[in-house]
Structure 1
């Protein structure tokens, strides 16, 4: 009976080692680090062990190996002898009883070792990795100190083999793709809202975009010029109301500043009103600058709009804080006519504006898991990249299971695209 108790204890100890191994490997270092900074000694020890995998794994392997040897000795000698004697008393021959006893004992002990000593403890360590890691960290650290000579020998031997086969230690830095994966897992689990996921994924995507991808192109800008009469200015503002307008010189050749609506709305009816006097110097931003760097410039200068220029100093567009906000939360649809993507009545096709940002397009059609194409910023740019020419009205192409048909051209500019899913 005492041998049976010893075997059960050994199997449970094996389970503790297995649970510790999985828990310390799968525990999140960020949580352990946070707990350690709050004063948890167990978390600090667990973090230290996770950063020394050779030492920790050697300790675990020594424990599991010794337990396996002891379990085999007790189950093979004592239990099988007692069980064989009982079988012999039941009428079996001594030789047959010995074989049957050894077979049954091996099967039972193996089953218990696998289920109770391996699988179940590992599941516990996986499901509650952080708590288990902190609970077993200090005992495991004590064992690693107690068995230091053997641990050192095993660790050094492992390091020699790792270096011999060129298995260098990989970086533990968290990649952007891993962050996106965690966000999506949180959404699937209900911990992260869909809106939160959308904003976070957009924030990560916009970090790789240039300011030219979120600006309003020059061709779409509503501008004023210094020679305009007050009535003409009021007419433009009434038709296209914006917070700021680029101001051209009287010859409409170069932009001399930016006019803010709030600076002229009350003075425009005065006889002494002069549009040039109301203009403020423009903040110029290179088109190759990253979107977040442009945001820093606008924030540091205390302005909410900037002029985007190319390498020759020519203005190519304008970017505002609203453009940055749209990049983070998506385009704000004032009405259906203003939406970049409009679903048609059939429910199987969509009318897409050529200036629809490529990220919004891919997100809408569930292509956000794909790599975002580079070299262009709109769906019109994607079509030009795929066709390698200026398309004509009615021309079609296939892209990732979607059929794109150019249904309207504004000169050489792609205005509207009809998108349908392939069956």
Structure 2
């Protein structure tokens, strides 16, 4: 089929842009899948497995892609300068235990959708975001191994740049991320099966002990690691810049005399959960600063042992953030039963429904994160 000469050049240019954008979407999904593979191998084996030689990988990957992608997308992909690297990623996934016969058709569907979407756009739409791709990840992807793998990957800047380019070309990046997340989960499970015979990851101690007011309504990963501040912030998709800004917001909300206490709160172990709540509130257009102003009105958090003031301020900050501005009741001192928390099954993590208000006192295997008063002990009466 030929194209009229008068419109041939614009048509070819638009079609070429659509194909190249489809190729970019394939690279994005594959980069995320490869990041998940590498992360899983580092976590379980302490090191990543080396990819196969480029020349060998190119031939094997070409055979795997046969009849999977549209001819125009396939040709552009195989002729690209980075095809050897992409081929190595693909074959490394296969070696790690990923079923390419399941993965590649879905990647092909993504490519076709993107190609057709770009081709249908008569003009570019204005870029929507502000470059804060960590925020988009937090709002689009649930906490877990895929999101952490993306943010901890050495190729994260390249992934973010690709997302920006797709966004500029009118592609629904959130939709691609959601699809890539599903494929990333499959990669994570496949690699884990090869490494650890399919052993399910246990809920971390930090996730169990934080279950309660600090995590109510938040998207918290089962493997939360508060002992590693940088990793905890990555798991919660909080960038260093955002974390610094939230710390400044806390300090600004307090009278100048409480600067030391604010610093102790920010360095407290559970601070990342408070930062995550601030981030969630901002995404919901809630006035975080107005909530924080309640800390200066009720300074009961200053009462108690001096060495625990940072932890008390963390709890108080979370308290005012969870209530309407100016309406937070006097802060109760929640009591967490560590015995009950430890008794939780390692395969059962906190859920939003289990985090409802007014939970009963803890029994064996029942969440105890809502106890707020002294617990009556059997055999004793007043």
Normalised TM-score (structure 1): 0.23
Structure holding more helix per residue:
2
Structure holding more strand per residue:
1
Normalised TM-score (structure 2): 0.25
